[in-house]
Amino acid sequence: MFTKTESVALVGCVRQAITGGNVFRLFESPPDCYISLTDERNFLQCNVVFSHSNRIRMIVGFGHPELSALLKYRQTALFVDGIFYVAPKPFEQCVILMVHDRVPCMYFLVDGRDEIIYRHILRWVKEQSNNCLDAETVVCDFEQGMMNAIRDELPKTGIVGCLLHWKQALRRKMASLGISRQHILVAMAPGNMDLMTVAKASVAQSKGMPYVQRLLNGQMDIEEDAEKWQAFWKYFAKTWVKTYSVDCWNISAMARERRTLVARTNNALEAYNRAFAEQFAAAHLSIMTFVHVAKLESIRFVQQLRDVARGVQDPPARISQVDYPRVPRSLR
């Protein structure tokens, strides 16, 4: 009989002998590339190494075929977010793709957070759908590289920048400028700053900003903080009109096109990311640990979908469709 320490050492020696020390060969080869010992469908969906700007880049994508098949649904909603805690070295983050309703369908290990990486991720996502991807919206955070990649790779898809993160950014800026807490609460109350997200994009700066300024002036005395508010609106124009395209946080175009909007935040995926991270005993464990956990998660979601289809389990509560806020006539 081997002790636990001896068993671990033996496994390490066997892996070293099989792979020659190259751990990447493990998840590329049977049976580790399969979903399980009894299911020989591939869990490994892509393993790409390419050169860009004189640098070798890496992307490894995993997904259960029954979950990635959900990408073929027409006019679906996608959620994209990255998580760093679970990424094994040498990867920088794990990018998770979730499809409505709250089903994580693909996991990508990547070595960066730049546009070229996100472009390749989206290309492989399209490949997994047999180029049938018909996403109506993609909800993501305000990463310029991610948004640029979505615009180019999915030109017909509406980008929904996470409303929660947008509001948090505005709130932090107000606080850093020394604007009083009470004034911040008023500004961030529903129907004030968030009107900027539904004003017609083409007039967001010329009409939307003056309208909201007048709205706030009518609700609080800002004379003492006039310079601070002037600095805030200067920041808003520079950051949210010039740096970020208005259409990444403004949904007026989607409202006119009557797109179905199931969420304005990435909360569903961020909640899943936290639950996924809890499956790991520590940060940045081995890549085989990551693959094992991702497989178990995928199998769990597949079983849930099968149980729902058979009527054994009730479907999870759906994300309610978002109602578009009323827009003042002058901002339409």
Looking at the structure of the chain, the number of domains it has is 3
Considering the domain architecture, whether residues 24 and 144 belong to the same structural domain is answered as no
Considering the domain architecture, whether residues 155 and 48 belong to the same structural domain is answered as yes
Q: Which domain holds residue 198?
A: 163-258
3-state SS record for the chain:
CCCHHHHHHHHHHHHHHHHCCCCHHHHHCCCCCEEECCEEEECEEEEEEEEECCEEEEEEEECCHHHHHHHHCEEEEEEEEEECCCCCCCCCEEEEEEECCCEEEEEEEECCCCHHHHHHHHHHHHHHCCCCCEEEEEEECCCHHHHHHHHHHCCCCEEEECHHHHHHHHHHHHHHCCCCHHHHHHHCCCCCHHHHHCCCHHHHHHHHHHHHHHHHHCCCCCCCCHHHHHHHHHHHHHHHHHHCCHHHCCCHHHHHCCCCCCCCCCHHHHHHHHHHHCCCCCCCCCHHHHHHHHHHHHHHHHHHHHHHHHCCCCCCCCCCCCCCCCCCHHHC
Considering the domain architecture, whether residues 61 and 133 belong to the same structural domain is answered as yes
pTM of the predicted model, to two decimals?
0.89
Residue 151 falls inside a structural domain: yes
Q: Can you give the pLDDT at residue 100?
A: 85
Considering the domain architecture, whether residues 235 and 193 belong to the same structural domain is answered as yes
Considering the domain architecture, whether residues 206 and 190 belong to the same structural domain is answered as yes
Considering the domain architecture, whether residues 132 and 13 belong to the same structural domain is answered as no
Considering the domain architecture, whether residues 207 and 277 belong to the same structural domain is answered as no
Considering the domain architecture, whether residues 143 and 48 belong to the same structural domain is answered as yes
Residue 147 falls inside a structural domain: yes
What's the pLDDT tens digit per position in 182-206? 999 999 999 999 999 999 999 999 9
Considering the domain architecture, whether residues 205 and 278 belong to the same structural domain is answered as no
Residue 110 falls inside a structural domain: yes
What's the pLDDT tens digit per position in 69-123? 999 999 999 999 999 999 999 999 999 999 987 999 999 999 999 999 999 999 9
Considering the domain architecture, whether residues 150 and 169 belong to the same structural domain is answered as no
What's the pLDDT tens digit per position in 269-307? 999 999 999 999 999 999 999 999 999 999 999 999 999
Residue 273 falls inside a structural domain: yes
Considering the domain architecture, whether residues 155 and 49 belong to the same structural domain is answered as yes
Considering the domain architecture, whether residues 148 and 168 belong to the same structural domain is answered as no
Residue 285 falls inside a structural domain: yes
